[in-house]
Structure 1
Amino acid sequence: MAAAHGNTEAQSTYKELQSALHRLGCPPNYPNVTLFSVFTSPVGGRGLKAVKDIPRGTPIICEKELFWVVNGTVGAIQARDPHFQALFCPPNNPTPQGRFEANRFQMGKDTEGRQKEGIFEKASRLNHSCVPNAYFAWNYKSRRLTVHAIVDVPKDAEIFVNYCADEHLMDRQQRQQGLGSYQFNCTCQACQPNTNFGMASAQRRQEMQTLDTRIDNNANNTLPVERSQQLIDIKAFSLLLQQEGLFYPQLADVYQLEVSWYIREIEQFADGTGSTRYRMGLLEEALEVARKQLEWDVACTGHDSPEVKKTSRTLKVICGLGQ
């Protein structure tokens, strides 16, 4: 019976993944098709721009590192790599170390649990935006850095990623300070304080800070009124992210918060108390939100990524609660 149950779960997970791919209309991987070119970016240095329209979910880069370090220090042999030397080097720190710090990417941990940082021939040319149109992730399974389109990227548009975590919870000054090691001032639409979008962005990000703190403070609250308010706050956070154009990973993370809320609420009635209709409604809501999260995971990290596997496990949990 255990084996049969395991096969049923595997089939269910496979169907959820295939359904997400179908809903997304994800394009196939084009390993031999060039989607971008290197150009002199108005942001600074040499960036990457789309040479054709790139649909959301398209894998743009899947790349092995030139080299990686764990102590943040570039060795003499690494510094002589011609591909590394071709990357941007900040004028106020024209050293191999300065070049490394301006172009590095996080790429998981080594066998001793130390954080690895790597340099990549293509991905290291990607410039930063606080409202990016692409997402990078280290896939420890394939041992490659992947970059996927978060939204549709039109031909000739520059491809941007977000260098820093939790920037959606920072004001403009904090974001600029966080980019210090990259030696440039961000001029994306969220960092232009005198434009309509820039002013609205500042307000949205301030509201997101407030909501994030309130959600965190009420995470373990079991009182019905506070639980209901937490769901209201989570949904408000989700809406602000969508208005800001921050879909991944921020929106997916908030979807995970919402799913966790539904699971906790369902477990409140595990003993059979409460309305069956209410419990089934919670299950339906949880499944809908988890599927949205899975879609974003697939679109921005690839169908074989650790993030997809994690969200698939969450879907299994939800389906189990309905049995």
Structure 2
Amino acid sequence: MAKLFSQPLVTESIKKNQHVRREAWSFYKIKKWRDNEGNHIQGKKLNRAVKRITNLCAVYLTHNVELGPGGKYGSGVFSLHSRISHSCVPNAYSSWNPTLERLTIHAIHDLKAGDKVFINYTGKVCRTRQQRAFSLSTTWGIVCNCVACTEPAIDQMRRRMLVIDQALAAYACGASRELNFSAIYGIPQISTAKEALEAAEELSQLFKRQRLCSMELCQAFRDCSMYALDAGLSDVALEYAGKEFDLEKLLIGTETPHLKEDLNGAKYWIEYIRNEIGCMPS
């Protein structure tokens, strides 16, 4: 496998990290590795061995991909995936599919032969330019020059997305019921399912205006569907569930049995809504 490129400042910082070096030393100490003559590795040979494993740690920590949310299925380094560039306005989406047991990459916009493929390294869309820049710089040594990082108007949309996302999160966990919530936290207060639906619809429109196709947009569609159902708007709930299903198919395909638990997959959410509608009195 050809050598993976990493920004020197990032890799050197990892190599100098005392925790990484201690782990490398401990690895060889526990394994009690021997050389070809059967002798325990020590002295200069041990130093060279520790240096090699430290270099491998730097490669892994720079290029590893979490397999599933929060690394639920582990993590790994993939020779092709690690060569795909970053953009805050990507044209492809990558994710680990437990059903297929494969890391998959799907184009989310039409690509011509020779087009460069971009994915979003941070996995977070609802962030300001400064927040994204900090994450990209400290983790990968990257300075992003995509349109979202250079156009003030787009950054304003991202800031609005962050505010709405926080307001919906506060509503979902019940925090927005706190007295003087908006004055304390500087976030709009959402009090009803109808208000939550309006906020989720605005968020989804901001995604679409920027041609952002991600699982966060899927979540925005799910929020629209849930709050429409809560508000008694079953037709609207099904409409947004259908939008979530179409986008989910674009992002990760149709092999989604792993998303059946807790109705995480759009297909299973649609089935739930139809059952709920069928149980409603006419």
TM-score (norm 2): 0.70
Q: Identify the residue that residue 158 of structure 2 maps to in structure 1.
A: 205
| Residues 73-92 of structure 1 mapped to structure 2, 5 A cutoff | 83=1, 86-92=3-9
Query: In the alignment, does 2:192 pair up with 1:237?
Result: no
Q: Residues 66-125 of structure 1, C-alpha deviation per residue, up to 9 Å, x if partnerless?
A: xxxxxxxxxxxxxxxxx2x52113222263333222321111489xx9662211121111
* CA–CA distance in structure 2, aligned partners of residues 107 and 308 of structure 1: 14
Please list the CA deviations of residues 21-56 of structure 1 after superposition, one character each: whole Å capped at 9, or x if unmatched: xxxxxxxxxxxxxxxxxxxxxxxxxxxxxxxxxxxx
Who is 1:189 aligned against?
Answer: 147
Structure 1, unmatched stretches of 5+, are 1-82, 193-197, 267-281
1:159 matched to 2:76: no
**For the pair shown, which has the larger CA radius of gyration, 1 or 2?**
2
Provide, for residues 237-276 of structure 1, a one-character-per-residue CA deviation record: whole Å limited to 9, x for no partner: 111111122121121110011111123233xxxxxxxxxx
**Misfit runs of 4+, over 6 Å:** none
1:287 aligns with 2:230: no
Percent identical among aligned pairs is 27
Match of 1:265 among 213, 220, 231: 231
1:304 and 1:316 map into 2 onto residues whose CA distance is: 16
Question: 1:174 Cα shift?
Answer: 1.2
Paired residues of 2:66 and 2:75 also in contact (CA < 8 A):
yes
For 2:209 and 2:258, the matched residues in 1 are separated by 24
Q: CA distance change for structure 1 residues 308 and 182 in 2, over 3 Å: closer, same or farther? A: same
- Judging by fraction of residues, say which structure has more helix: 2
Residues 108, 217 of structure 1: CA spacing in aligned structure 2 closer, same or farther, 3 A cutoff? closer
In the comparison of the two structures, how many residue pairs are matched? 217
Task: Tell me the distance in 1 between the aligned counterparts of 2:191 and 2:62.
Answer: 48
Whether the aligned pair in 1 keeps the contact of 2:207 and 2:213 (CA below 8 Å) is: yes
Pairing of 1:1-323 with structure 2 (within 5 A): 83=1, 86-92=3-9, 93=11, 95-108=55-68, 116-166=74-124, 168-179=125-136, 180-192=138-150, 198-219=151-172, 220=174, 226-266=192-232, 282-306=233-257, 309=260, 310-323=265-278
Match of 1:269 in 2: none
For 1:105 and 1:306, the matched residues in 2 are separated by 22
Cα RMSD (Å) of the superposition?
Answer: 2.6
TM-score, with length taken from structure 1? 0.62
